[in-house]
């Protein structure tokens, strides 16, 4: 019995559940699942209990997402519209800035340092990822308790544009260029989408950690 009670549920499932659970249920939902997990592990074995925990977590997350859209449709819609505009503006400004900086370097600086060369080659990707993550953080800050739902929706809406752009690239490029540029283009098109969700996850995790000690 001591052995079973020391068994922990799958960490990734617990982490995902913590990301999506509304604040008012951060005590009850994970607590209920942990209680049942320990009980099932002692009766049916740890492997079965882990599968049960995964199944419950995924179904619970789907329910939380669905009820989030039902309970607060306007705040989610507002966050998505604002978020998509922020993404577009943020990318347009930073990419314009990086291009201007690269042109300045190539015209006025004769001996470029390694750092300058690194920025000229990878600056655009890094900026895009950083700006996307910051935008994810802003969206999450505006959507208390529904950070992941808002950032995931913004990311999904923006993915339509990313998929269209990638499709155009695939059809308008010869094989040799495609082979060389596929990975950078994939990173450029879809990396930002993940960064938005990661930004949401950072804010959510920070909020969740600051909330837990106060209650327990």
Least distance between another protein and beta carbon 64 (Å) = 6
Q: Is 154 exposed, middle or buried (0-12, 13-18, 19+ CB in 10 A)?
A: buried
Q: Evaluate whether 149 touches 77 at the Cβ level (below 8 Å).
A: no
Q: Contact between 76 and another protein (CB under 8 A)? A: no
64 is an interface residue for another protein by CB under 8 A: yes
Helix ranges, 25-113 (H): 28-44, 46-71, 73-108
Q: In whole angstroms, how close is the CB of 72 to another protein at the nearest point?
A: 12
- Cα–Cα distance for residue pair 90/164, rounded to 1 Å: 20
Q: Does 106 bind another protein (CB under 8 A)?
A: no
Residues of this chain, 1-40, that bind another protein according to CB under 8 A: 5, 25, 27-36, 38
Q: Which is nearer to another protein, 38 or 189 (CB)?
A: 38
Residues contacting 12, CB < 8 A, separation 6+: none
The residue within the footprint of another protein, chosen from 44, 67, 168, 177 (CB under 8 A), is 67
| 121 sits near another protein (criterion: CB under 8 A) | no
**Cβ(83)–Cβ(154) under 8 Å?**
yes
201 CB neighbour count, 10 Å cutoff: 21
Near another protein by CB under 8 A: residue from 13, 60, 87, 203: 60
Among 59, 180, 206, 209, binds another protein (CB under 8 A): 59
Q: Is 56 in the site for another protein (CB under 8 A)?
A: yes
How far apart are the C-alpha atoms of 141 and 137, rounded to whole Å? Answer: 6
Q: Which residues bind another protein (CB under 8 A)?
A: 5, 25, 27-36, 38, 56, 59-64, 66-67, 71, 215-216
């Amino acid at each position: 019995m001591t052995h079973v009670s020391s068994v922990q549920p799958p960490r990734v499932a617990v982490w995902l559940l913590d990301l999506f659970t509304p604040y008012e249920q951060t005590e009850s939902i994970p607590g209920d699942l942990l209680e049942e997990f320990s009980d099932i592990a002692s009766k049916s074995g740890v492997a079965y209990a882990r599968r049960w925990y995964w199944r419950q977590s995924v179904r619970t997350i789907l329910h939380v997402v669905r009820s989030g859209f039902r309970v607060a449709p306007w705040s989610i819609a507002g966050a998505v519209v604002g978020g998509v505009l922020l993404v577009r503006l943020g990318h347009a400004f930073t990419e314009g800035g990086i291009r201007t900086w690269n042109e300045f370097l190539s015209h006025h600086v004769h001996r470029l340092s390694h750092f300058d060369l690194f920025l000229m080659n990878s600056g655009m990707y890094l900026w895009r990822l950083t700006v996307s993550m910051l935008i994810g953080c802003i969206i999450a800050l505006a959507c208390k308790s529904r950070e992941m739902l808002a950032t995931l929706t913004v990311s999904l809406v923006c993915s339509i544009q990313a998929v269209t752009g990638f499709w155009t690239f695939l059809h308008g490029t010869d094989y040799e260029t495609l082979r060389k540029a596929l990975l950078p283009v994939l990173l450029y098109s879809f990396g930002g989408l993940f960064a938005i969700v990661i930004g949401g996850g950072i804010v959510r995790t920070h909020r969740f950690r600051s909330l837990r000690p106060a209650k327990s």
